[in-house]
Chains A and B, each alone.
Chain A
Amino acid sequence: MDTTRKDVISSEGEQTPEIVEERDKLIQAADALLVQRNFLVQQLSVVSRVRDKLLSVYKKEAETDAVLRSTGFHWNLMNEAYERITDSLYSTLVGLRNLGVKEFSSSLNEYTIVRVEEYIKGLKEAVDASRK
């Protein structure tokens, strides 16, 4: 159990100053990516539902996406960003796992405990889908 930093709930293996520094950097990056990904997931879920409704009226994807853009949502950019962030989060969490981090607390949703292994498994599917 690591108590040197309050945001590392559980970590194992060697804890040299270099490893601790690297671990802290990765936790900070993972935290930012978790918040950003959460934002994109929420936005995409609403925009995708409304896009389906719009598509049933406009019939053509190009017209539908033009309407979305006029309200400030660039559908393709949103999806690209989602893939990019998901990919980066996956790599960052794998990096943390390699440093022996089991759990850490993220500022996402009132300091959620992120269980690294479980999260990696959950993300794997999303990463594979975006790489296809």
Chain B
Amino acid sequence: MQDEPQFGLESRTEESGKIVLNFSGNLRVKVAGDRELTGNDVHDIGEQALEFKRAMFCFDCISEFKKVADGCRGRMAEVFLPEENAEPMFEDFGVDLGKLGYAHGDMVQVLFENVSLLIEFGVDSIDIDDPNRPGISLSKLKAELEEMLEEAKEATKSTWVLHR
């Protein structure tokens, strides 16, 4: 991404027994208070937090696309029976549902790996300056992402059985 402000530690404070790291680019990270953070740890946390902010942005965009596309596909399939009739219309209208599905799956995986790493670093929550997502709890988000990955696995499995 271009012109994205580079992260840098702006302040380090404590709040309710947790270490609060404020990075440039409006990134606020809360780490478990019992962690002893070296300069390298803080650098790694900042780097991953910035990656998290980018991934969250992409994830939210793709999720929004998927929600609308799924809704429209359902409605179109109801009207243009049989369902197969509706599928080519999407392509004609410049929308590739297959690519959207893959992009969403990839984004869930990327975010899951990023969140897992941040949890390993002892990070409890992150504030990415998004009014729709104040103080994101990483354990809660990880559980939600795990569920999505399971659903995606199940979907792949049933397709495989269907086409075998």
Contact = CB atoms under 8 A, between A and B. Distances in A.
Contacts of B1: 57-58
Interface residues of B, number: 31
A40 B93 contact: yes
Interface string A63-80: 000000011111111111
Contact of B94 (A46, A58, A73, A107): A73
B93 to A, nearest CB: 4
Interface string B64-94: 1100110110011011100000000100111
Contact of A35 (B64, B68, B79, B103): B79
Contact of B68 (A43, A54, A74, A75): A43
Contacts of A38: 75
A32 B92 CA distance: 14
Given A46-B64, A72-B99, A81 B94 contact: yes
B65 A46 contact: yes
Contact of A32 (B80, B95, B104): B80
Contact of A78 (B76, B80, B93): B93
User: Which 5 residue pairs of A and B lie closest in terms of their CB atoms, listed nearest first?
Assistant: A77-B94, A72-B100, A72-B99, A74-B94, A72-B96
Interface of B: 1-4, 57, 61-62, 64-65, 68-69, 71-72, 75-76, 78-80, 89, 92-101, 103-104
25 contacts: A32-B79, A32-B80, A36-B76, A36-B93, A38-B75, A39-B89, A40-B93, A43-B68, A43-B69, A43-B72, A43-B93, A46-B68, A47-B65, A57-B4, A59-B2, A70-B103, A72-B97, A72-B99, A72-B101, A73-B95, A75-B94, A77-B93, A78-B94, A81-B92, A81-B93
Given A72-B65, A74-B96, 18 more contacts: A31-B79, A32-B79, A42-B71, A43-B68, A43-B69, A43-B93, A50-B65, A53-B57, A57-B2, A59-B2, A70-B99, A70-B103, A71-B100, A71-B103, A72-B69, A73-B100, A76-B94, A78-B95
